[in-house]
Amino acid sequence: MSSVTSLRSNRTLRIVLIAVVAILLLVAPLVLPVFANQTLVRIGVYAVAVLGLNIVMGYTGQVNLGQIFFVGLGAYVTAYGVNHGWNIVVVFAAACVIAGIVGLLVALAAARLGGLAIAMVTIALPIVGVPLAKRLDEFTGGSQGISARFSDAPDWSRLYSDQWQFYIVLLVTAAAFLLARNLVRGKYGRAFGVVRENEAVAASMGVSPYRTKVLAFTVASIFGGASGFLYLAAVQYTSPETLSFGHSISLVAAMVIGGAGSIAGSLIGGAYYVFVPQLTNAIDPSFTTASQGAILLAVLFLLPEGLVSLPRVVRRLTRRRSKRPAPGNSPQTAPARSPVTEAAPEGLQKTERGKIGHEG
């Protein structure tokens, strides 16, 4: 093990590093230009949405193409609450709870379906959601959308609006990531992982695949609701276009590119979701769709575990190159006779599984 890792594992250094990162994040909005703050705010919004998607898709392996519906739902609930003068905390709670309840109801039915039928059913959420949003125009403002101004900086804070919004988003995003990390590290996280590997095996281990999938879906939709709240904090307006189906696909792409099954990967996914359109916008807008498709495929081929695994992959490559033995036959280390090779599972020995990666 190289000397660097032993140093890093030293506890005091890690605390210092965290404090530095925290201070940086807190001071940033005060020094950064307006547009940078606004971009970071948007990254926070979509990082939380991707995080929710990661819980149900990255960790539990259920393809969910309806996550944007819950973001839209959260935004509409928030707009309704703000325009009716509810207290902000109540509004946030309502956005999460209502999205969670709807997610639970959908999951109770969808989780009965095996494998890919879930992907095909969750597609219905945004597809039905848009006309529904237009139909309920007394709540949603119909196709003209609805604006709700609540995230302008209050006078006592003597901050600019974009700074105030930055802190709201920072607070909720940090809490969401903390919650998700503990959830995934705990027994639920293990349950998610087992259900992802093989539902039949999970059942034999006393983990009910059905209940685990429903839990994963519900948590994902709660995060979606929270992301909807942040969306409204950032944009202060929402319309049926917010939950259009195309965004669901971009969210899935962002999750995979950031790093499926990884908490930190969701943050990168949120950044990807916001930055790539700005990038292709600058080059040539007609490339936008094609380049997003190409990037997703490239990541799936070259870096299945997403950008979050880049440092690990780079280190693995550099270590392999630095420790290559003298040329000749493969290292004659004593063959670790693992029983697996003999009684390989049915048919052929399992070939390398190009599966969505899974970080601890």
Partner 1 sequence: MGTFIQLVVDGLATGSIYAALALAIVLVNQATGLINFAQGGLAVLSSYIAFAFLQLQLPLIVAILIAVVLSFFIGALVERFLLRRFERGDPDTAVVVTIGLLTLVTGIAAMIWTYNNRAFPSLFPLTSVEILGAVVSVRSLATTVTIVVIMVVLQLLFLRTKLGLALRAVADNPASAAFSGLPVGRLLMVGWGLAATLGAVAGVLVAPQLTLTPGMLDTALVYALASVILGGLSSPVGCVVAASAIGVLENLVAVYVPLIGHDLKIAVPFALIFVILILRPQGLFGRKVVVRV
Partner 2 sequence: MTLLELSGVTASYGPVQVLEGVELSVPEGGSVGILGANGAGKTTTLRAISGTVRTGGRIRFEGRDIRGFRPDRVAALGIAHVPEGRGTLGQLSVRENLMVGAYLRKDRRSIPADIEYCLDLFPQLQDRVASRAASLSGGEQQMLAVARAFMAKPKLLLLDEASLGLAPSTSKTVYEAIRRLRLDSGIAMLVVEQNANLAFSLVDTATVLETGRNVLTGSSDELRGMDEIRRAYLGG
Partner 3 sequence: MKVRNKSGGALAIVAMASVVALSVSGCTRDGAGQGNGSGASPGITDTSITLGITTPLSGPTAGPGTCTVAGVAAYFGAVNAAGGVKFGDGKTRSVNIKSYDDAYDPQKSLSNFQQMVSDNIFAVTAGLGTPTNRAFRDAAISQKVPQVLVMTGDPLFSDRKQSPWQLGFVPIYQNEGAAFGKLLAGSKDQHKVAILSQNDDYGKGYVSGFKEAIKGNSSISIVGEQTYEATDTSVDAQLTQLASSGADVFFNAMSITPLVIAALQKGQQIGWKPSWFLPSNTSSPTAILQPGGATAYPGIYSVSFAKAPQSPVFAKDPDVVKFLSELKQYGNYPDMPAFPHCMWSYMVGATLEQAFKNMTEPTRDNFMESLRDIKGLKAPLMLEGTSVDTTVDGQPAVSTVVVQKYNGQGYATAENFG
| Ranges within 292-351 binding partner 2 (CB under 8 A) | 330-333, 335-339, 341-349
Residue 30 binds: one of partner 1, partner 2, partner 3, none (C-beta under 5 to 8 A by kind) = partner 3
In angstroms, the CA 73 to CA 222 distance is 10
279: its two tokens: 């990038």
Phi, psi (rounded to 5 degrees) for 147 = -110, 150
Question: Would you say 182 or 341 has its CB closer to partner 2?
Answer: 341
Q: Which residue among 28, 36, 63, 313 contacts partner 1 (CB under 8 A)? A: 63
Q: What burial class does residue 353 get, using C-beta atoms within 10 Å of its C-beta: 0-12 exposed, 13-18 middle, 19+ buried?
A: exposed
What residues numbered 311-330 form the site for partner 3, per CB under 8 A?
311-312
Q: Angle formed by the axes of helices 161-185 and 187-197, to 10°?
A: 70
CB atoms inside a 10 Å sphere around CB 179: 15
Question: Would you say 114 or 311 has its CB closer to partner 3?
Answer: 311
Question: Would you say 32 or 113 has its CB closer to partner 1?
Answer: 113
Asked whether 233 and 44 are in contact (CB, 8 A), the reply is no
Closest CB 193 distance from partner 3, rounded Å: 16
Residue 124 binds: one of partner 2, partner 1, partner 3, none (C-beta under 5 to 8 A by kind) = partner 1
Question: Would you say 39 or 64 has its CB closer to partner 1?
Answer: 64
Residue 132 binds: one of partner 3, partner 2, partner 1, none (C-beta under 5 to 8 A by kind) = partner 1
Q: Angle formed by the axes of helices 34-53 and 67-83, to 10°?
A: 120
User: What x-and-dash track marks residues 93-112 binding partner 1 by CB under 8 A?
Assistant: ----------------x--x
Asked whether 197 and 42 are in contact (CB, 8 A), the reply is no
Residue 33 binds: one of partner 2, partner 3, partner 1, none (C-beta under 5 to 8 A by kind) = partner 3
Core vs surface per residue 104-122: b (16+ CB within 10 A) or e: bebbeebbeeeeeebbebb
Closest CB 328 distance from partner 2, rounded Å: 14
Q: Angle formed by the axes of helices 245-259 and 124-135, to 10°?
A: 140
235: its two tokens: 């944009």
What residues numbered 180-219 form the site for partner 1, per CB under 8 A?
196, 200-201, 204
What residues numbered 247-286 form the site for partner 3, per CB under 8 A?
247, 263-264, 274, 277-278, 280-281, 285-286
Question: Would you say 138 or 346 has its CB closer to partner 2?
Answer: 346
In angstroms, the CA 165 to CA 45 distance is 11
What residues numbered 60-119 form the site for partner 3, per CB under 8 A?
none
**Which residue ranges make up the site for partner 1 (CB under 8 A)?**
57, 61-63, 109, 112-117, 119-121, 123-124, 127-128, 131-132, 134-135, 196, 200-201, 204, 245, 249, 252-253, 256, 286-294, 296-297, 300-301, 304, 347-348, 350-351, 353-356
**Which residue ranges make up the site for partner 2 (CB under 8 A)?**
330-333, 335-339, 341-349
